Structure 1
Amino acid sequence: MIQSALDFVRSLQEQKKAQGVWAEKSVVERQQVLSQCLMAMRAQAESLATEIAKAEFLSKPFVQETVINPSLRHLETLSHRDFPENRNNIPVGLMALVAPDYLSFRWLTENISAALLSGNAVYVQMNEMNQASAHCLQPLLSKAPIQWVFAPGKEGEELENILSSHPGIRAVAFSGTPSRAEKVLRAGVSSWKKMKIESGFHNSALVLGDADLRGATKALVRSCFTGMGQLPWNITNILVLESQLPDFERFFLEELSNQGMNGENALFSMTGQNDFERMQKISEQIRSENGKILWQGQFPELKVQPLVVRDLSHCSTLQQDCLRAPVVLISPVKYAHEMVKWCNTSYYGQAAQIFGTVEKAEKIAAKLEVGHVFINQWIESLQALDFGQKQSSYGILDSQAFGAFYSEHRKIDIQESIS
């Protein structure tokens, strides 16, 4: 375990040697290591879901459906797919993976497996929020060239900066807040690294005129508040037609009143409770801009209570910023085309959710400046934790093993003789 800058420097030569040995293995030999990880993960799936749900304050069924099962499918695909040997696909070398706070087990599984299969060695940086996921993966990947990095507070920030800037690290994959992403990006670009950055989000849901309002509100309660606004696919802004607003609000608030903090499928949780000061600033701005609070959680266990707000101006910065908070803004519009306009106003473009008939929804989806559109569903359909547009993502947005991020590609032109 690397816990300081000195530990990192001391580890470099050993990790470079390990990467060289690993790169000499055939693709099939690397797949065998991933296959062993898959078998161990499958055997421990139940306990892994329990541990990760507890650490990230998510329900166990949600973790099973959106974290464990997709991780198993991903490893199954990589470990059994036929990858022909290609001497012109060259490993990048040493890579750094800086994991997100939530859904980190799946993010790490997808990125580590692609990096390893491509012949690279990796440094994985954990923090207080995601260390449980990393600790779950450690024994499953004990035969792979991985160095695990953890230090709290300022030392963790220093290590993040070193991993992003040290010339021995050739590529950095990062998922986290916009403020951290900016620092990592600045350090990485200045040292000419390959970068893959996943950052902020401000996602909208568009409720079309032909949507099933009861079904939509039931689905939206989940996509808005699972993870208490911390997940990159959480919905922050709900765009609904003025003519449907009274019914929509009534159904939405009824659905919220049925939710709680107890039970295996509890919606609200302790997630994001360290962000009390930021939530206070958001609440103050809502009041100063005459936003109407339609509903506020009353859970004694929570310092940061979930909020549902209406009547904020479309020009409010809260309609564009990455809030990362359990705040939902309901924004009525007169016509459906206005939904597209206001959805695209944010400088983030991670995802959007549309409710309505598929034919109309697809036409609307084609106009949205986001990386992923969910029509009448949510992240249970994600095949991989993919990327957004605009300021939600930056760099080489390729998650494929032997793709542009995890490999260098060499071209060789041959002529039999000099004529």
Structure 2
Amino acid sequence: MPMAQWSPYSNGPIRKSVAADSGSRLDVQGEKQDYVALTTLRAIGALCVVEHHAWYYVYPAWSMNWFFAGVQYWPDYFFVLSGFILTHVYGQSLQKANGNGVYNYLVARIARVYPLHLFMIVVLFGFELFRLWVSHHTTAQLHHPVFAEGTSLKYLPSNLLLIQSWGIHHLNTWNDPAWSVSAEFACYLLFPFVVRWHVLDQHRSALLFGVLCVAGLLWVQLTHRTFHVTYDAAVPRAFFSFGLGCLIRTYLVAVQHALRRLPPTFWQCLAILLCCVLFAWKGAKGIYFIPVWVLLIASLTFENTPVSRALSWKPFVTLGDISYSIYLIHIGLLWAFLLVRDVSPDSVAWILQLPPPVTLAGLFAIVIGLSYLTYQHVENPGRRFVRQHFSRKSAARVAEAAARRPAAGPAPAAMEEGKA
């Protein structure tokens, strides 16, 4: 049976992952848990990041109002959620997996995040080549030098290897949002060790691991005097948040039992209210968001509530499906806007004079439309290609395929390849 796939910016809806390993996806009543509402929140987070970068790139055209205050901390939601879902999907299977099983897990993770990442690197590289042509063949004054600073050619190897935010550079490079994908890629590599060394399922080690995660997050906040660390301490920031998500899923029965002391809807509304308060509070430190993300994820594991059902509305979940594309491709659109502004300032001046909500609505519409296309024509085909060409078949699957093979004549190519 194929291994499930999931990423917090990128993967398909969480409900699809349930079929891959139903034995580890049952609640205490034996019912499958889909957690579809959490998929919708991925879309909200991705759109908030789009808004943050839009403000950053067009500053000072827009004022820094309260709505922009804390949206840069949404990646921490992705990190916590990633630990939760990977434990949900792979927690039991990785404990029993042989070398092929661990290898296939890594292939599945790479398949989910790398094709679109590579696509955007190619797009942005081509865009820089076009800017180079513009700088040599027009009189336009480019505000940012070509193939310099974050888009220097020397940063391409680390971006292609997805290690650009592992503390090896002094700035964000190429596709800015991909710093979190790089940090999460490190979490993917560490996760099998966490599972196979029984860090989570032994109470004493789990307690120590939880203390380590909390202490590590405090260390990030205190030593850097900010939680918005991307290229330097991104991996610790991601892994310690990721670890909390792993613990939530491992001890979900106990967590839900504690939350049931009050109606689940109360906890969900409280978590959403706290999110809004932190976004409105300009002085809120990034570390304050972590317990709110934890409460939000834990409370939304109760699926039969008005809040969960509202967040599970199909159009919302569809946005969650394409959230990884939303997260990664919007920078290309902003780059294009900046180039047009450099070449012909008057042609975009009217856009900057519009009320920010109108501009954002237009930007969201364009990004969502393009993201749907990249989801259909880059993400999904890329995922299938990597899984089909690099996954290893287990001996049981090979034997099963042989048993189904016709006795005479060569096997069809599709049957030989199988589906990853």
Question: Would you say same fold, with TM above 0.5?
Answer: no
TM-score of the two chains, using structure 2 as the length reference: 0.26
Task: Compare the two structures and name the one with the higher strand fraction.
Answer: 1
Larger helix proportion, structure 1 or 2? 2
Between 1 and 2, higher relative CO (CA 8 Å, sep ≥ 6) is seen in 2
